[in-house]
Each structure stands twice: as C-alpha cells, then as structure tokens.
Amino acid sequence: MGLRWKKRLMDEGEINRAVNRMAHEIIERSASLKDVVLVGVHTRGIPLAEHLSKLIHHYEGLEVPVGKLDITLYRDDLTEIGVQPIVRRTEVPVDIHGRELVLCDDVIYTGRTVRAALDALMDLGRPSLIRLAVLVDRGHRELPIQADYVGRAIQTSRSEVIKVHFHSTDGEEGVDLLESES
C-alpha cells in the first residue's frame, strides 16, 4: 500500500501563525505561567513544544521548560503488532509534580496516542493539570479526548493521512494531505 500526495494543507507561514496563536492562548489560559511545562510527544510533538516555548519566551521573557515523551512503552497494541516500534528516551528535565503540563503533538486522530501519553505522564509524577496542544485535529476520535489548543481542525477521511514536516525533523515546514492507495 503506497501513499499518494494530494495537497499541501498548511505552508510555513500558516504554521507560524497557528503556533503563534496557540502560544498566546497558552499564556492567557495558564494560571501561573512559571509552572507550565511543555511536553512534546516523540517525534513531531517535540518541535511543536520547542516552537511554543520559544514564542512564550519571546512574548513573556520566561523560560518554559520542554520535555520529551516517548509513549512506545504505553501503546495498547504491543502484544499484537508485527513490527517493533523503536523505544526512545523520555527526558523531562523537571519534576512535574504540581506543574501545569501542556502535552504537545503534531496531529490528533483516534486519541490513542494521547491516552498512552497521559498514562506515561502520570507515571512520571502528579501534575496539577494537563492540557493538550495539537497542530492539526483531523477528527475520527476513538476515545473521549479533546485538544485544548488546536492549530487547525481539518475534515479528513480515514483513508487519508496527514503528514506534518518541521525544520528540525524533516528539513522543511508544512502540512500535507496524502491518500493511501490500496
């Protein structure tokens, strides 16, 4: 099964504007900005978290710590799958106890990744609250989970695939819509 490119949904400028807005929303909604920790989910949640952190520093002059979270060990399909996901290191530089976490990921789809990420975060400590930031919400949730900060909501069909590119992971920036060819 191959993937066919359909169209570019967001270019670099659109991503920047969306992330900019999300940064403002985070600043606005947090009770205490200095308690905020941005946690990016491997792989493309991390550049989003870093981008947000940079913007918050730009607007508020405050260093918001960024953590990296690998959710592989928390996936709910490990006993069934036929391929072996590579486990990466989880690095959260601060004690998350009592902190306001903003979990960052590129795309929200079924919600299963977020479910795994929430379990992973709980194992690291007891934050005072957790909010969710995603660049793209493509719908089709299988669990009762919603994002608090959304870059853009896009209607998709299940046969379509959203591919997000960031400079640090892919060498360019943009969001593409692809279709799987069966």
Partner 1 sequence: MMEAVQIRHRHLLDLEDWSASEIESLWRTTDAMMEVMQRKVKKVPSLQGFTVATLFFENSTRTRLSFERAAKVQSAEVLNFAAGGSSLSKGESLKDTLRTIDAMQADLYIVRHVAAGTPYQLSRWTDASIVNAGDGRRAHPTQALLDGYTFRRCFEGFDGFRGKRLTIVGDVMHSRVARSNISLWTKLGAEVVLCGPRTLLPAELEQYSGVRRCFRLEEAIEGAHAVMALRMQRERMQGGLFPSLAEYQARYQVTTKMMERAHPHAIVMHPGPMNRDVEIEGVLADSERSVIEEQVAHGVPVRMAVLYSLLVGRGR
14-22, 25-33, 79-87, 131-139 -> range binding partner 1 (CB under 8 A): 79-87
12 belongs to the binding site for partner 1 (CB under 8 A): no
Six-digit token pair at 159? 């046969």
In the complex, what is the shortest distance from the CB of residue 37 to partner 1, in angstroms, rounded to a whole number?
Answer: 16
25-33, 116-124, 152-160, 167-175 -> range binding partner 1 (CB under 8 A): 116-124
3-11, 32-40, 118-126, 128-136 -> range binding partner 1 (CB under 8 A): 118-126
Q: What is residue 155's three-state secondary structure?
A: coil
Distance, in Å, from the CA atom of 75 to the CA atom of 113, rounded to the nearest integer, reads 7
| Closer CB to partner 1, 79 or 157, in the complex | 79
127 belongs to the binding site for partner 1 (CB under 8 A): no
For the residues of 25-70, what is the DSSP string, one character each? Answer: HHHHH-S-GGGEEEEEETTTHHHHHHHHHHHHHHHH-----EEEE-
Residues touching partner 1: how many (CB under 8 A)?
24
Q: Who's near 161: CB < 8 A, 6+ residues apart?
A: 3, 177, 178, 179, 180
In the complex, what is the shortest distance from the CB of residue 99 to partner 1, in angstroms, rounded to a whole number?
Answer: 15
Distance, in Å, from the CA atom of 126 to the CA atom of 169, rounded to the nearest integer, reads 30
86 belongs to the binding site for partner 1 (CB under 8 A): yes
Environment class of 138 (CB within 10 Å of its CB; exposed 0-12, middle 13-18, buried 19+)? buried
Could you tell me if 132 and 108 are in contact, meaning their C-beta atoms sit under 8 angstroms apart?
Answer: yes
Q: Is 113 left (phi over 0), alpha (psi -120 to 50) or beta?
A: alpha
171 belongs to the binding site for partner 1 (CB under 8 A): no
User: Which of 18, 70, 99, 130 is close enough to bind partner 1 by CB under 8 A?
Assistant: 70
User: Which of 7, 28, 81, 171 is close enough to bind partner 1 by CB under 8 A?
Assistant: 81
φ, ψ (nearest 5 deg) of residue 136: -130, 130
In the complex, what is the shortest distance from the CB of residue 13 to partner 1, in angstroms, rounded to a whole number?
Answer: 33
72 belongs to the binding site for partner 1 (CB under 8 A): yes
Residues that bind partner 1 in the complex, under the rule CB under 8 A? 70, 72-75, 78-91, 119-120, 123-125
